[in-house]
Every structure is written in C-alpha cells, then in structure tokens.
Amino acid sequence: MKQFKSIIQEGVYDPGIFKAFFLAGGPGSGKTFVTSRTTVGMGLKMVNSDTRFENYLKKAGLSLKMPDNEASVRDPLRARAKQVTGDQMDLYIKNRLGLVIDATGRDYNIIQKQRSMLMMLGYDCYMVFVNTSLDVALERNQTRTRTVPKDITIKSWNAVQNNIGRFQNMFGSSQMIIVDNNNASEDTLNKVYTKVRNYVRAPVKSYIAKRWMENELRKKRLGIRESVNDMTHPKTEPKPVNNVVGDWKNIDVPSPTLNDSEETKSEMMMMSKLFEQRNNAIVQSIKDHDQEVFYGIESYLMKYNLEYTMKDIQNLKKIGSGVVRHFKNKFQRPRPYELADALNMKFNHMELISDSMKTPSYPSGHSLQSRLIAEFYGKLYPKHKQNLIELSDECGYGRVLAGWHYPSDHIEGVNIAKKLINMVNLQESIIDIPRRTYAPGVFDEEDTNNPKIKPSVIKLIKDQLKVFEKEYPIMKYGLIGSILTKRYRNDADLDINVLFKVPEKDREEERTLLSLKYLSTKNPDNIQGKLIPGTQHPINYYFLTDPKLYKDQEQKADAVFSITRNTFVKRPEDFEFNVSDYIDDFNKKVQELDVVKGELKRDIIDYDELKELGPKEIEGLQNKISSKLDEIENDIEDIIRIGDGVDAERRKAFDTDMSPDEIRKYAIKNRLPKNVIYKMLEKYHYITFYKKCKKIMDDGVVTDDEIDSLKEAVGTPKKHIAFTFGRFNPPTIGHEKLVNKVASVGANDYLIVPSGSNDPKKNPLKVNDKIRMMKNMYPRHQSKIKQIPGARTAIEVINKLNGKANEITMVVGSDRVREFETLLNKYNGVQARGTNYEFDKINIVSAGERDPDAEGAMGMSASKMRDAAKNDDFISFKKGLPTSFRDKEKLYGLVRKGMNLQANFSGPGIGTYKPTASVESFTQWQIRDLYIREQLFNINDIVEDQEQDVQGKVIRRSTNYIVVEDDNSKLHKCWIWNCIPTSNIDEVKLHEVNLNIDYGFEAVSETEVKMQEEKNNGKQISERDKIPQDKDVAKKDGTQPKKYYKDMSKGTKSKRADYFAKQKYKKSDDDNDYKAAPGDKDAKTKTSKHTKKYQQMYGKEAYEIGKEYADHTKSMTPGEPEYKKDDKITDKDIKEWASSNDTIDKYKKRYGENYQNEIDEAVKKMEERLKIQSFKDYVKI
C-alpha cells in the first residue's frame, strides 16, 4: 500500500491523467485479452474487482468453477474484492490518474452515472466495446479459468448487446471503439492500440482539468505542502428552523480541535480501540438509528404505552436538523474516516450505508436530534427521563462506534440539545406568537428596528402602480397592516392603500369602477393577492379617492410604512394580548359557521350519491338532484351571510368612535372584538372559506367543479396512503429497509401488506404466521402490518384502497419502479377486467438498490433464507434476521414446517422440533369427512374464511373448496380447511344422525354390547349352538366357525384350529402380541354387511375414502397448498397439537364454549388412528 501511495504522488505528471476508458463486453468476450494488448505502457490504472476476486479465491483454496457448496465462503470474498477495488479507484480519482474501468456494459445506468461523475471532475471519457457472437462467448466461457453459469452468460450477453446503441449515443462515435473479437487479428489489435494511445496523448479538453493541473504544478514549484489542517468538509444546504422562540444562533458552541492536534489524534486512537467493542447487536442498533434518530425512543414509548405524536417527533427532528446544519456549515469539520485517510491511518469504520454522512462532522446531528426528543418527552414523563436519555445516547454514541463521528461531535450535539429544548414551542396558539424579527421575505435588515423593504418587492409594487397611473394620477400610497409588526403570520398580506387624484364629484363612482377593473374577483385578470416570489405573502391593493378617508385609515392602522422613503411613518405598539377577552365571541361565531359547514358537507355527499344513480333506479331522480343542488346553494349563501356580517361589523367598528370603556379595555380600534374575531377567523381559514363561497356565487350558479372544490374545505381533506405489497416469505433484515422506507414517505398513513400466497417451495409461511412474525420483527410498524382480505396482487390491493385516499405511493424494489409506474398509471381511472381504481396521483418509489453480492441488509433476500432452511443451516438463516428479533428459532421451525421438511435441527440454545404435518393432515381429513357427509358448509350456510378474513353465505360446493358470497355481493373462493361455520354449534349437531330413518340395521345399546362380551367368554349360550361349524375340524376343542375355514385344505384347517387353541385372547395394544394364523396369507376378504350399511347411511366416501380423495383433489387443484404425506403420528405429536395456541383458537371459534370437549374427541380419534397405524406398519399394508 505504501508503494501504491508513492506512485500516485506523481499524478500531475502521469501520461494518462484525466483520461477514463470504460470496457464493455459480456463474459467470454475477451476484454482482458484486448486490454492487455491495447493499453499497455500508457500509465492507465486498471479498475477490475474480478482479478482481485480470483486472487482471493486462489489464496482461500476455493474452486474457480464456483460450486454452490462454497457460496457461503465465497460471497464474503467477492464483497471484500469490490470494497478494496472501490477504495483503490477513489485514490486514483483523487489524484486524477488515467483509468481503465471494467464495467461489463450490463447496466447502462451505472456507466452513465460514473461517466457523469468523472466528467464533472474534468475527465475525458471513452469506451472500448469488445464484441463477440453468443456462440464464441459461450465457447470461451467454458475454457476460462473462472467459469460463469451458462444462463448467466446468455443473460449478460443479451443485456450488453441491447445497450450498444445507447452507448454510442452517450459517448459519440468519435470517443467509442468497437472491437470485433470473434477472431481478432494482430492488425486489428494494433489499430485499437494506436487509437487508444492517441486518445491518451491528446491534451485534456476540460477547463476544470486544466485548472487543477495548473494549481498542482504551482504547488510543486513553490514547494507548498497541503496541510491537514486545511482539510474541510463541503458545506451542506441549510434548513429552516421553526417552532423555536429565542435566538438559537447565539447558543455558545466552541470550535472543534484542529485536524492535526494531539486531541484529535487521541480521539481517533480511542475510536480505533472502541471499534473492537462492535458486535451484531451494536451494529444493528447503529443501522436502526441511522434510518430514524427516534428508533429506540419510539419503541420505548410504545412499549410502556406512553402517549406521543409522530407530528411532534418529526417537528423536533426538523428543529434539530436545521440548527445542527447551521453549526456544521460554520465549522466544516471533516469526518474522522476522511481525516484518517489523509493521515494514512488504519481506521476500521463501518460501511457508509446512507446519505446521513454527507454533512460536516461537528456537531453530530443524530446526537442533537435524539437528545432533543428525549428531553422533550422526559419533561412529559419524568419517571422515564433517564431511560429516554440513555436511548438517545445509544443513537448518538453509536455514530462514534461506527467511526462516523468523533466523541466530541456527540458531546457537543448533546450540549446544544440541552440548551435548545428550553427554546422549543410546539404548541399552536390562538394568536400569532411574537417573532424576533420582521418578515424576512419582505424586509432587509429585518432584525433591526429600522427594516427596509427589499428592492425586489419595491419594484413589484412600483411596476403595478405605473399601470394604475394610466387611469388617474396617484397622490399617495403606503403600506399598512400586521406585516409591519412582529406578530405577522407566514401568509400575512402586504396591504397597500393607494390614493388617486379624482375630481370630487366623481370620486365614489370612479373608485368603484377602478376596483371592478383591477381588484374584483369577477375579473379573471385581477391583480389582487399575487405572492411575493419565494414567500407566502400576497400583495393587496385598496383604492381610495378621498384624502380624508386615506388619512383616517392611517390613523386606525397598527402601523404605517412609507414605501417611497422606505421607513416607518407610524411604528406598531407592543402590547400583551389577552385572548380571554375574545374567546367566547369567537367560539360562538365558529360554532355558527361549523353548523352550516356541516350541513353543506352532508348535502354535498347526498348530491354525489344521487349523481351516481340512474333514472331507472329512483323515481323523480332529476328533481331530487335539482332540489339537493338548491340546498347546497342555500348553505353557501348562509356562509356568505355570516361572513358578510363579520366583515360589516368589523368595518362598522372602525367607522364608529370608541366609547370610554372600550378605550380603557382595548386602547385602539385594532383590538376591538369585531376586528380581532375577524382576524382570528382569518387565521383558521374561515374567512378564506367565506371568500371562496362568495366567489362561487358571483355568477349565481353552482357547478359540479365548484362543488368538488369545496369538498376539502368542508372537511374532506385529501388523504395520501403509502404502502408496499410483498410475499415476505420469510421476512428478513432486508425487508426492514423496505418497511422503513414506506414509513418515511411522508404520507398521512401507510400500510405493509403481506400476500396470502402459500406453497412449500417459495411461500412456506402461512399468512397469519407471517403477520405475527413481522409484527414481532418490526415492532415500530406493527399496527401498520395487516392483510387486506381478498387482495392477492398489487392491483387488488390498490382496488381495495380506492376511495380511501386521493393519492397513493407504492414502494417497490428499484428494478420494478418503471414496470409499476407504467402499469398502475395506465389503468388509473380505467374500468377494465380486474382494475377498479381512480386516484389523483399515483407515485412509485424505490426502496433502494440491493446488491445480491453484499452482506447484511443490503444483500439479504428471502430466497437465501429459504435455501438456508432447506439445507438445515440455522446459523446462516439467523444472519438474515435483525439481532433484536427473539423468535428466530420459531420462525425457522415454521419455515421448515411449511416446506414439508423434517424440522429437527440443533443449534446453540435451540430445542428439537418435530413435524406436525401429519396431525394437520388428520385435521383436514376430519373436515373433509364432515364436508362429504354434508355436515359442514352446505348451501346457504354462513361461514368465515380465516385465511382471507371473509365472511358470507355458501352459494356453491366443490370438491375441496366452496364459493362464498359476502355482504357486498362479491364472490370468494375459499378452501374448506380455512373455513369455520358461524352458525350455532347446536345447529350443526342436528345433522349428525336422524334416528327416524331406517338405515337397514338396529341401534345397539351398551347393555347388548356387554351381553355379547359375556357370550364370547362362554358364560352364557354356547357358540356351537348358534354358529355353523366346519365338519373337518368339528371335533377340535372350542368353536370352529365354518366361515373361518372356507376354501382351505383339510391339513391347513387342522393347523389353523390347533393355532387358535394355543393362541389365547390377550387384551393388549402391542402389535407383537398378534401373529397371522395359517391360511390368512392367501385368504380373500369381503366387505362386511355392517360396512355396507354404513356406506348406505353416509355414502362410500367416508373417513378413509375422504382422506384419499382429499389427497387426490389437493394434488390436482392449482393453488392449493401441498402437504407431504406422512402417516406416522406419535403420542407426543398429538399432545403438542392439542395444546397449541393455533388449535385452541381454531376450536374456540368453531365450537365456542364446548371447544375443549371437541378437542378431546379429536384426540381420541387420533389415538384410535394411532393404533390402526401401528397395525398397518406391522402387516405392511
């Protein structure tokens, strides 16, 4: 590394300085060969991670054929090769050395970004495109030392070929060389070499490059060595600071120590030792807090049910961000890893995983923001303050452990937060809070007592006055209103009185005409209310023709400002505003307006519903619509009447002399209740609404568009929902990045919607298990993780969101942004098969790039997790999960269970899992048996599908699913295993056996059963007297029923009789106690009469047949989850099944209070089946 450093010191004399050559070509194209023959001896630096990767493989003793079983060892080496190559390229670029970048050409966007970045630095960029046919590429790939799978070679070749035209457009024909390398001759290579050499020798074109070289040469001539102390980090864009009272810029923040000081070096040495403390939990915490500074604090507030609002947290975060950027830009301290690089110091900092490190280092923004939030909620919950502060330190100090901040950055961030918290005011006041300065968007020198209107604002005003002067001469003009005080709002008006010189007899008439021409809302070209650029302050003009009235207006105003002299004529007075003097009258007026607004809102809803109906659906529809429209007009007129009244009362208050009591209480007319209430109504946008209504009624007609414009104003604000839809099978640490991105979009609400897909190969987790695990894995988002019933695709999710939002944002992987942008916007508002949605705006946002070769969150995928589960590799599996997630073993077991794998595995602190698939199958066969016998899910029964969260009436029965119609007349296909009846359980039991029907046999009582047992023991009537005996063995002891010796030879009959005489009856469940008798092996059996009667009663497809048919239909039905057959059930399996939460919950829903009896009954049947199973194993049926 030292040798490499010494080489790059000669950068300014390097022959290939400021030249970059991009190599493009797929695997097997021969890029390495062409490069070695065409760029040698030119001083160009090769940037290729593949060469370094191959060296790493050789050193590790791994195969260059890259077999799958070495992937876990090989992947970290590939990541290391990419990192080292990237660091080396950064050093080359820093010294502006010539580059050869092996970019393959597969990804056009990456090359475009790299080229743009290099050109901004002054580089001349070229491309060498090595072209071959696919056959040649495949043939060469097989002979390479490190081979690439055939399918990847083909895919890469196609991608590179598709980009060749785009590269020609990007680089231009004069800066791109295409080499036909199917069988490149020596002459061809020599021509390429000559062309590359000419490019390298050509003088640099960029002015930026020339200036850099001149500056470097000047330093060398003067012997100037760049001091480490001169290193700074570029400034970042400042942010506004709101909700702060006081001069936060005067907070005392000491300067950081110099870059080469002993204090700074000591800090960095200490950090290097601290890096050794990093473990998986610390790294995960750093990543969590890097995404959100309040991650730990919010989790704590949720855990202890402490009330908080995201609005307050976000406001505190914005305050901290704005304040810290001011001080960061003031000091411009380089990041510690930047300084370590300059000092040639080994510094094991964490990978830069976000944009949060693009600002200067001092002070730490994360430390300031998290501590500010902790202090805020510490005041609200004093008992929890210390814990909240410790969590904020976890966020801030984690940045030090990552190597992204010095310890002093963290300490100063905390100190600023402790001072800043006393200046924060998040409460919205009924009146405007006094400001420290005059409006900065209007005035220069706004922080002095003599502000000056900005020249740009004066120009706007004077340009408009010149237009007015074409009508009549202007005698005077001046600025009045709250904008001249320090109690202005962000949207406060600039009210300008304009006095025209008009003959006395024409004054009122001309004033009216002038107002109609320039100021009336009826005139579409009116100039009133135009905003000052970059602000929310509108300029309003008021026309006067009477000098006396102009003077009277100035006397009544809070303050008057001369625009011509740019100074105050009358200064505003400071006073203490007592809101209690006005609040009662204000509330009465608000209540009056709210009542009418509520009526208007209901009338608009009724009107919309009527418009959706057809003439055939309701009698006299047109009359009803017209009547409802009249009601809307009446509501609008009522609002105008109230507004006119408030406005008239305000004017009257100004035109009437104040009484002595009013003078004592309010001092000036501006503080009279009628004026203050008007201003308070204006603050809460009631006056804006009144003006909107007045404008609508200007022409006496209310249109549909005007009604739509009122919807938001009457309480139907626009709503924005962000969501993502995915399989999450299983959820991973990589998915956490996606979930956090959805939450950070800035919508009113957000949803994380897992799909209901379930199959052993790619979707092993059931949706209920998946949601439960996701809520545990991402606790900050648990209330937002939910399944949308019936939504199997992203389109169906959007269909379900239709009508619930005006704007939606879908977060997807970076590779699918364009696909969804095209698809979703194409069908927005279009009625087509499967689509039924309409939104004002549909956004598609990328969750970020994912490098499949990366480690951690950036590279983890669900497929890797499934592969680990398939290979019984729990160690690899848990690497894909957040360290804070505690149910890793349980999730692992569920995934393997869903994949129909034997779920036994061992690991540190992990028990042994046994399969329960056979128990699950038994339950399904039971349901199937009841379904076939029409004891469950009959036509018109009400059922609930727990998987889809759908309830409705059965309208069709199929082999293993039913069709359910819900309350909205929508049809749902539901698997019978996922359904439960919602009718009374006693009603179900009525279907069991109807004793009034003759099924061909008599019922047998318990007494009769006992009598039969006694007969068998010979205690009553002899069997010989009742059952026909076989004559060949009749003399043998005991009973010899004829049917047991049918079709046997005499010798076999004798042996059989002797066998039964020796074989005494045993009351045992052990299969070994029973052996086959002579003659059993070749005996044929027939269906008993009792079985026949049973089949006559229930149908041939009873329990066992139902089981076989269920297996068959499940294997034949597309989309139905498969289960691996396993007839082996143990006592332990049955007990685990009976005590599991899933079983208890399912039986509670199905059987109510009688659930335990039903579980016991099922266990009994399972145990009986266990005996049959054991016998089958013995006789090998």
pLDDT (average), residues 983-998: 37
Residue 303 domain boundaries: 257-421
> Which of residues 688, 714, 740 is at a domain's end?
714
pLDDT (average), residues 27-37: 81
pLDDT (average), residues 203-219: 82
Q: Which residue has the higher pLDDT, 99 or 105?
A: 99
pLDDT interval class at 563 (50, 70, 90)? very high
Query: Does residue 511 sit in the same domain as residue 610?
Result: no
Tens-digit pLDDT profile for residues 50-100: 777 887 787 777 877 777 777 777 777 887 778 778 777 877 887 788 899
Task: For residue 235, tell me if it sits in a domain.
Answer: no
Tens-digit pLDDT profile for residues 928-973: 777 887 878 888 888 888 777 788 889 888 888 899 888 777 788 8
Tens-digit pLDDT profile for residues 159-208: 888 888 888 888 888 889 988 888 777 888 888 888 998 998 888 888 88
Please give the Cα distance from 602 to 1077 (Å, whole number).
87
> Given a cut of 50, is residue 739 above it in pLDDT?
yes
Residue 1006 tokens, joined: 């318990």
Task: For residue 905, tell me if it sits in a domain.
Answer: no
Q: How many CB atoms lie within 10 A of CB 75?
A: 16
Q: Which residue has the higher pLDDT, 586 or 173?
A: 173
pLDDT interval class at 796 (50, 70, 90)? confident
Residue 153 belongs to a domain with what CATH number?
3.40.50.300
pLDDT (average), residues 445-451: 88
Cis peptide before 730 (omega within 30 of 0): yes
Beta strands in 698-738 (DSSP E): 720-726
Query: Does residue 108 sit in the same domain as residue 204?
Result: yes
- The values of phi and psi at residue 91, to 5°, are -65, -40
> What does the pLDDT read at residue 790?
73
> Given a cut of 90, is residue 452 above it in pLDDT?
yes
> Which of residues 389, 421, 453 is at a domain's end?
421
pLDDT interval class at 561 (50, 70, 90)? very high
> What does the pLDDT read at residue 646?
67
Query: Does residue 397 sit in the same domain as residue 463?
Result: no
> Given a cut of 80, is residue 1088 above it in pLDDT?
no
- Find the DSSP H helices in 43-70: 49-59
pLDDT interval class at 668 (50, 70, 90)? low
CB 537 within 8 A of CB 439: yes
Residue 996 tokens, joined: 């009034």
CB 888 within 8 A of CB 881: yes
CB 946 within 8 A of CB 768: yes
Query: Does residue 398 sit in the same domain as residue 494?
Result: no
**Host H or E run for residue 23:** strand 19-24
Residue 319 tokens, joined: 């305050």
> Given a cut of 50, is residue 1177 above it in pLDDT?
no
Angle (CA) 522-524-528 rounded to 5° is: 85
Q: Which of 166, 131, 318, 355 is nearest to 243 (CA)?
A: 318
Query: Does residue 546 sit in the same domain as residue 522?
Result: yes
> What does the pLDDT read at residue 376?
92
Q: Measured between alpha carbons, how far is residue 518 from residues 471, 631, 644, 789 in Å?
A: 11, 33, 21, 57
> What does the pLDDT read at residue 996?
42
CB 139 within 8 A of CB 189: no
Give the DSSP per-residue string, 1079-1119: T-TT------HHHHHHHHHH-S--HHHHHHHHHHHHHHSTT
Please give the Cα distance from 830 to 824 (Å, whole number).
10
pLDDT (average), residues 550-576: 82
Residue 471 belongs to a domain with what CATH number?
3.30.460
Please give the Cα distance from 377 to 387 (Å, whole number).
11
- Find the DSSP H helices in 469-537: 507-518
Q: Measured between alpha carbons, how far is residue 119 from residues 126, 207, 363, 379, 876 in Å?
A: 11, 11, 33, 53, 43
Q: Which of 577, 547, 588 is nearest to 482 (CA)?
A: 577
Query: Does residue 684 sit in the same domain as residue 734?
Result: no
pLDDT (average), residues 441-462: 91
Task: For residue 621, tell me if it sits in a domain.
Answer: yes
Which residue shows structure tokens 């998040």?
426
Q: Which of 1109, 1117, 1122 is nearest to 901 (CA)?
A: 1122
Query: Does residue 385 sit in the same domain as residue 519?
Result: no
In this structure, what DSSP letter does residue 545 have? -
Give 885-892's long-range contacts (Cβ < 8 A, gap of 24+): 885/776, 885/777, 886/776, 887/773, 887/776, 890/773, 891/730, 891/773
Q: Which residue has the higher pLDDT, 728 or 613?
A: 728
pLDDT interval class at 1059 (50, 70, 90)? confident
Please give the Cα distance from 1032 to 1041 (Å, whole number).
11
Phi-psi region of 210 (alpha: psi -120 to 50; beta: other; left: phi over 0): alpha
pLDDT (average), residues 851-880: 75
- Find the DSSP H helices in 560-620: 583-612
Please, which residues bridge with residue 19 across strands?
124
Q: Which of 48-52, 153-157, 1080-1084 has the lowest mean pLDDT?
A: 1080-1084
pLDDT (average), residues 783-788: 86
> What does the pLDDT read at residue 309?
78
pLDDT interval class at 605 (50, 70, 90)? low
Could you give the 3-state DSSP secondary structure of residue 113? helix
Residue 754 belongs to a domain with what CATH number?
3.40.50.620
Query: Does residue 465 sit in the same domain as residue 356?
Result: no
Which residue shows structure tokens 């997807």?
812
Q: Which of 400, 364, 34 is nearest to 189 (CA)?
A: 34
Please, which residues bridge with residue 23 across strands?
102, 128
| Secondary-structure breakdown of the chain: helix, strand, coil percentages, each rounded to the nearest 5 | 55, 10, 35
> What does the pLDDT read at residue 949?
75
> What does the pLDDT read at residue 400?
92
Phi-psi region of 104 (alpha: psi -120 to 50; beta: other; left: phi over 0): left
Number of domains in the chain: 8
> What does the pLDDT read at residue 1062?
66
Please give the Cα distance from 534 to 547 (Å, whole number).
34
Q: Measured between alpha carbons, how far is residue 1121 from residues 787, 976, 1168 in Å?
A: 19, 12, 27
Angle (CA) 372-374-376 rounded to 5° is: 70
pLDDT (average), residues 29-37: 81
Give the chain's mean pLDDT.
Answer: 76
| pTM, rounded to two decimals | 0.31
Task: For residue 481, tell me if it sits in a domain.
Answer: yes
> Given a cut of 50, is residue 428 above it in pLDDT?
no
Which residue shows structure tokens 């009216």?
512
Query: Does residue 728 sit in the same domain as residue 705?
Result: no
> What does the pLDDT read at residue 86?
78
In this structure, what DSSP letter does residue 235 have? P
Query: Does residue 665 sit in the same domain as residue 811?
Result: no
The crossing angle, in degrees rounded to 10, of helices 134-143 and 150-171 is 120
pLDDT interval class at 21 (50, 70, 90)? very high
Maximum alpha-carbon separation in the chain: 150
> Given a cut of 50, is residue 912 above it in pLDDT?
no
Q: Which residue has the higher pLDDT, 822 or 469?
A: 469
At position 260, the amino acid (one-letter code) is D
Which residue shows structure tokens 């005006």?
806
Supply the Cα-derived Rg of the chain in whole angstroms: 42
* Report for 448-462, 577-591, 789-803: range of highest mean pLDDT: 448-462
> Given a cut of 60, is residue 649 above it in pLDDT?
yes
* Percent of the chain surpassing pLDDT 90: 13
> What does the pLDDT read at residue 377?
92
The crossing angle, in degrees rounded to 10, of helices 686-696 and 704-711 is 170
> What does the pLDDT read at residue 752?
93
Please give the Cα distance from 608 to 626 (Å, whole number).
12
pLDDT (average), residues 262-275: 87
Query: Does residue 562 sit in the same domain as residue 639?
Result: no
Burial of residue 204 (CB within 10 Å: 0-12, 13-18, 19+) is: middle
> What does the pLDDT read at residue 850?
58
- The values of phi and psi at residue 830, to 5°, are -110, 125
Tens-digit pLDDT profile for residues 871-907: 888 888 888 888 888 888 889 888 988 888 754 443 3
> Which of residues 695, 714, 733 is at a domain's end?
714
Task: For residue 1094, tell me if it sits in a domain.
Answer: no
Q: How far apart are the first and last CA of the chain?
A: 73
> What does the pLDDT read at residue 744?
84
Residue 5 tokens, joined: 């450093």
Which residue shows structure tokens 């989790």?
299
CB 693 within 8 A of CB 643: yes
Q: Which of 645, 666, 646 is nearest to 581 (CA)?
A: 666
CA 583 to chain CA centroid, nearest Å: 44
Task: For residue 1069, tell me if it sits in a domain.
Answer: no
Task: For residue 927, tell me if it sits in a domain.
Answer: no
Please give the Cα distance from 12 to 19 (Å, whole number).
12
Task: For residue 157, tell me if it sits in a domain.
Answer: yes
Q: Which of 290-294, 984-988, 1151-1155 has the lowest mean pLDDT?
A: 984-988
pLDDT interval class at 1096 (50, 70, 90)? low
> What does the pLDDT read at residue 431?
43
Q: Residue 189: which residues within 8 A CB-CB, separation 6 or more? A: 34, 37, 38
Could you give the 3-state DSSP secondary structure of residue 764? coil
Residue 387 tokens, joined: 């814990």
Query: Does residue 668 sit in the same domain as residue 774?
Result: no
